Amino acid sequence: MAAMQVISVNAPHDVQFIEREIKQPGLGEVLVKVMSAGICGTDADIISGDLIYFKNGMASMPIVPGHEWSGQIVECGPGVRNFAVGDRVTGECTVACGHCKYCVEGYTNMCINRTETGVMNRDGGYAEYITFPVTSLHQCNGLEYDTGACVEPACIAMSAIKRSGITPRDNVLVIGPGPIGLMAAQIVKKIYHANKVILSGTRDDRLARASGYGLDGIINVRRENLPEKVRDSTRGEMIDVVIEAAGAPSSFTDMEKILNPAGRISLLSFFGSKEVKCNWDFISTNSITVYGSLGSPGVWPFVIAKLESCDIEVDSIISHRLPLKSREDFLNAFYLMEERRDNVCKVILHP
Asked whether the domain spanning 160-292 has the same topology as the one spanning 3-150+317-350, the reply is no
Domain 3-150+317-350 adopts which CATH fold?
A: Quinone Oxidoreductase; Chain A, domain 1 (3.90.180)
Question: In degrees rounded to 5, what are phi and psi of residue 327?
Answer: -60, -40
Q: How many CB atoms lie within 10 A of CB 83?
A: 16
> What is the percent of the chain where pLDDT is above 90?
94
Handedness of CA 246, 247, 248, 250 (dihedral sign): positive
The pLDDT value recorded for residue 275 is 80
Domain boundaries, the chain: 3-150+317-350, 160-292
Convert the pLDDT of each residue in 44-55 to its tens digit: 999 999 888 999
Convert the pLDDT of each residue in 209-254 to its tens digit: 999 999 999 999 999 999 999 999 999 999 999 999 998 888 999 9
The pLDDT value recorded for residue 321 is 98
pLDDT above 80 (res 66):
yes
Domain 160-292 adopts which CATH fold?
A: Rossmann fold (3.40.50)
Convert the pLDDT of each residue in 268-315 to its tens digit: 987 766 788 889 999 999 999 999 999 999 999 999 999 999 999 999
The pLDDT value recorded for residue 1 is 60
The pLDDT value recorded for residue 189 is 98
The chain-wide mean pLDDT, for the chain, equals: 96
pLDDT average, residue stretch 92-102: 96
Convert the pLDDT of each residue in 117-168 to its tens digit: 999 999 999 999 999 999 999 999 999 999 999 999 999 999 999 999 999 9
The pLDDT value recorded for residue 274 is 75
Contacts of 86 (CB under 8 A, 6+ apart): 72, 73
The pLDDT value recorded for residue 269 is 84
Residues 285-294 as b/e (b if ≥16 CB within 10 A, e otherwise) read eeebebbebb
pLDDT average, residue stretch 193-197: 98
pTM value is 0.94
Residue 116's DSSP bridge partners are 94, 121
